[in-house]
Amino acid sequence: MKFSCSREILLKNLHLAQRATDAKNRTPVLRNVLFELNGNCLSMIGYDHRIGIKADIECVGEQDGKITAPSAMIIEVLGVMIEKTVYFSLEDTVMHMECGRSRYNFNCIPAEDFPPFPKSDGKEVFEMDKKMLDQGIRQTVFATNPDDARVFMGGVLMKTEKDSKIVRFVATDGHRLAMRIFVVEGQQLPESQVIVPTRTLAELLRVIQDSDQKTVKISVDSKSVSFSADGIYIVSRLIETEYPKYERVIPDHSEGSCRVNRLRLLSAARGASIMACSKENRDIIEINITDESIRFSSTTKDVGSANEEVEITKKGKDVRIAFNSKYIIDFLNSVDDDEIVIDYKDELDPGHFHTDMPDYTYILMPVKV
């Protein structure tokens, strides 16, 4: 194997592939990235049996070949170089790298020891606008909990509906539920429902936010899902379990509602949360909604108290209710609208946070104080 390429492009894409390796794995080859050269295309593949990332870049290829190399070490070395072009050659299992007057040798592991890279060859294939996919992930993935024993909480439900042309993203951690809905026109959607792991979606966000491509190709089968855009291919195992009937926690009516400026509410929530950060307070703040304002209050023994008040437009009854401040802040950070709406019933009923956009729903369970 022998090739040369842009140091900057190589470093950027090697970073992506390396994120699918497992630095703590006892099998050394799973800590490496597979380099595979075919003509003028260099593929870099990271795979830890749960998620795989393949990045393709253009290079000047002289001799095809493949090897698994210590990506973390190569990234460190490339990061301190200043020259634009880097040259690689392979001799047995030693990869030689030249960059200007710098010379490095990396001990590698044969490509034959690397596990076969999976490809989602499902028949359910569709494309989704990059901005929609980005928004669907960002506005739901924060509501997952990968550490919970209930495995469905470790991912986002992605449901496509053929007849309605709807793509639905749903996430919950038992304390809150986030749901984002999109209508995808111009193509035939499959009828499918899968749970995509949180880690996979976090890696996908890094790819699509840096992509110039307008759409992302998505392929789904019974055990895996894949996403591809701009020469980057991500494949992941699915979370194979039944997703709960999330519709049951969405309130069917409210007895009160208030409209408030999002940035002012975000500032108030952040301020009140400072005084609710002790271990015993668990980030809980009390909310009092009256005709004129919404007031956040919190107290920590031996530290002090906080009271934040913001003007609102209100309909219906008053309420006093407590929530985890972090969960409120997560929602407010996920939207860009100027105003948000809070619908509520009583102090022990869930609160419904949303904007004027009807396709985003955030349900937050109250805390008894």
pLDDT of residue 124: 82
Give CA separation, 275 vs 282, 304, 309, in Å: 10, 7, 15
Which residue among 113, 137, 159 closes a domain? 113
Residue 277 has a pLDDT of 76
Burial class (CB in 10 A: 0-12, 13-18, 19+), 129: middle
**Quick one: three-class SS letters along 276-338?**
CCCCCCCCEEEEEECCCEEEEEEEECCCEEEEEEEECEEEECCEEEEEEHHHHHHHHHHCCCC
Tell me the per-residue pLDDT of 175-220, one tens digit each, with 9 for 90 and over: 999 999 999 988 889 899 999 999 999 999 988 887 788 899 999 9
**pTM beyond 0.85:** yes
Q: Which pLDDT score is estimated for 36?
A: 97
Residue 120 pLDDT class (50, 70, 90 cuts):
low
How high is the pLDDT of residue 148? 94
Estimate the crossing angle of helix 7-18 against helix 71-80, to 10 degrees. Answer: 150
The CATH number for 307's domain is 3.10.150.10
Final residue before a domain boundary, out of 183, 212, 246: 246
Domain containing residue 50: 2-113
Whether residue 129 sits in one domain with residue 227 = yes
Q: Which of 87-91, 122-126, 239-243 has the lowest mean pLDDT?
A: 122-126
**Cα dihedral: 200, 203, 209, 213 (round 10):** -70
Same domain as 104, residue 53: yes
User: Which SS3 state, helix, strand or coil, does residue 191 take?
Assistant: coil
Confidence (pLDDT) at 212: 81
Average of pLDDT values for 145-153?
95
Show which of 246, 271, 293 is a domain's final residue: 246
Residue 300 is predicted with a pLDDT of: 80
| CA 208 vs CA 18, 48, 211, 277, 359: distances in Å | 17, 21, 5, 34, 22
pLDDT for position 159: 95
Counting the structural domains of the chain, the total is 3
Six-digit token string for 270: 């952040």
> Are the C-beta atoms of residues 207 and 234 closer than 8 Å to each other?
yes
pLDDT at 8 over 80: yes
Same domain, 206 and 275: no
The answer, yes or no, to whether residue 95 has pLDDT greater than 80, is yes
Residue 281, pLDDT above cutoff 80: no
DSSP category for residue 10: H
**With bands split at pLDDT 50, 70 and 90, how would you rate the model's confidence at 122?**
low
Lowest mean pLDDT among 140-149, 152-161, 204-213, 272-281: 272-281
pLDDT number for residue 240: 94
- 111 touches 37 (CB < 8 A): no
- How far apart CA 274 and CA 325 sit, in angstroms, is 9
Confidence category of residue 165, pLDDT binned at 50, 70, 90: very high
Same domain, yes or no, for 203 and 286? no
Do 265 and 318 fall into the same domain?
Answer: yes
- The residue written with tokens 């906080």 in the block is 306
